[in-house]
Structure 1
């Protein structure tokens, strides 16, 4: 039985599905984002009471009562929100590097570095690559003592597509491709 893939909605603030935003510590910001971008989903999850409450808050703020009514954010949740925001910025500035390295003669390996920053389990990803391409694939430490996936063979183009389809939270713009060749010796 073949099933169609599901398209999931992820929150723009905490990057979790909207049903789980309450566990992120940034629930108020998540609610505002969901209400602004996907009002139908907001009504499904929080009901029309929250929508009416949000509209009333906006009208009360517009009348000038202002900031004294808005002091419902606690210090701990503000710190947690700031921490999550910093982590999110770090994620979005991080790069996934796919490097093709030439070995002896026509042998090549492909290394993938930086997937772990986006929350990808490297062992599961290595196993997926090994099964998909019918080759050896493992997690190893590189020269900087950081984990990377080593795939035996030249699968750089297919790897980019596979990463984008299996992990949609990894932005395509953050994937870099590097081709590293051995230096040829000068004839004597």
Structure 2
């Protein structure tokens, strides 16, 4: 009498439910990979190799991170000390604003801009911008300017939506002296005139 053949044992994937050798054709092979490495490494030797390589890379990354950030192993800069390159690993890198084309935007210094505008070919207005950057209250400044030059002065929003002081008449001849005497926090070197579309230093 012939012996009964033993039934073939099929290993089914616990993730997708397919036989393990068919996982790669299933919809969730990526999800199956950890289970296959654990339970059927002989079916997918490449997966095992891949996993080992990934593990080695991870260990190398961890060692590198420890070498840079750990203050105890001498690999990185100790706390309170700067490394040989002169930068302290504890301090954050300085943020640099880059303009289109790779140009670096320098941090702008506060400036007072004075511009004389002639309207209707007769009416002249002297525009003062930037006093607020020095902590000067514009409403107070407009009152003082109006009183000093016996003219109308008001705080208005300019073309760029920033507030400025419009003073009626041409007072550009001695406004610099008045500004530096009234508001000592504004240096003469920070005051500029706009003449023919160019910025000219008052000092």
TM-score class, shorter-chain normalisation, is: 0.3 to 0.5
TM-score where L is the length of structure 2? 0.43
Task: Work out which of the two has the higher radius of gyration on C-alpha atoms and give 1 or 2.
Answer: 2
Q: Higher helix fraction: Structure 1 or Structure 2? A: 1
Name the TM-score, length of structure 1 as normaliser.
0.46
